[in-house]
Amino acid sequence: MSPCLTLMPCFLLPPGAPAFFQKELKNKEAQEGDDITLRCELSKACVQVEWRKGGIVLQAGKKYEMRQEGCVQELRIRNLEPEDNGYYTCDAGDQLTTASVAVQEAEVLIVCGLKSTDVFLGEWATFSCQLSRGVRPAEVQWWLDGTLLQDSPSSEIGLSQGHVHTLTLKDLAPDASGTVTFKACSLVSYAKLLVKAKPIEILQGLENMDTIDGGEALFECSISRCEIKDCRWLIEGKPVKESPTKEIVSFESGRRHLLLLKDLHVGDSCKVTFQAGTATTSAMLNVKGVSPQLMSNLQY
């Protein structure tokens, strides 16, 4: 006998007399996630009964457990959910009893909110927010600035174990930077998304150059992505300005950069540097004087 089940004596009825409910079901109120037991008592033992919710016959399983001990009939409902609200009936053939179950929804809390994320151009960013209990999908919204996001190939909305809601933004462009907002019922969580340009890399660095007095020198380098605004040439640490003797050129939409120095003299030997963002490459310029023998050969 179950320790929590108190048996009441059944009436002694004439053989064939119909059973009736000595104790009927009582209305129940409980919190979401609780287990409850509906109990009634018949006047006869070993009566076959049927349990229903509304007009649906209930089956024993993970959700429901039916028990009979003597004249007492029990229905145990596990892990209450809002969907368990309603009227439950114990049907004993020509007799039945009905009671209501009211499930009070547990308060929803944010267990772990959104965290701000920095990513590079073209990468993916995933945001997650964990709630204390499940909510209906219609109660959940994801926003990027003023745009309500829908589940799509570029913005994937998901739900994983533990009531963790996720948003994955794919192939991000620079204009995707903004505020990501998660809303569930009356709860809100915010985070910042920053989409950054990928760091520039030097693919081909500068090479040392030798030239003669009165000659020219061409310095060339290539970088990993198109960039013009964030690039500059330096001579001995000072920015180079275009002039009749200094020509700055870029090709391939800013992937290749050239510096042509003209009319060079011995005193112009220097260190030449190219900067692109935080990436730099340097080389030496060596301007040699013309030897007397070479001058003599040039005169003839």
pLDDT 10s per residue in the chain (300 long)? 344 444 445 545 555 668 899 999 999 999 988 999 999 999 998 899 999 999 899 999 999 999 999 999 999 999 998 899 999 999 998 899 999 999 998 889 999 999 999 999 999 999 999 999 888 888 999 999 989 999 999 999 999 999 999 999 999 998 999 999 999 999 999 999 999 988 899 999 999 999 999 999 999 999 998 888 889 999 999 999 999 999 999 999 999 999 999 999 999 999 999 999 899 999 999 999 876 555 555 454
Contact 19, 70 (CB under 8 A): no
Contact 187, 113 (CB under 8 A): no
Q: Which residues pair with 220 in a beta bridge?
A: 258
Rounded to whole angstroms, the Cα distance separating 253 from 256 reads 8
Rounded to whole angstroms, the Cα distance separating 65 from 35 reads 11
Q: For position 174, what pLDDT does the model report? A: 85
| CA R_g for the chain | 41
The domains found in the chain, sorted by start residue, are 21-104 (2.60.40.10), 110-196 (2.60.40.10), 202-292 (2.60.40.10)
Contact 99, 21 (CB under 8 A): no
Contact 182, 188 (CB under 8 A): yes
Place of tokens 């009319």: 263
pTM of this prediction? 0.58
Question: Which helix (H) or strand (E) segment is 187 a member of?
Answer: strand 187-196
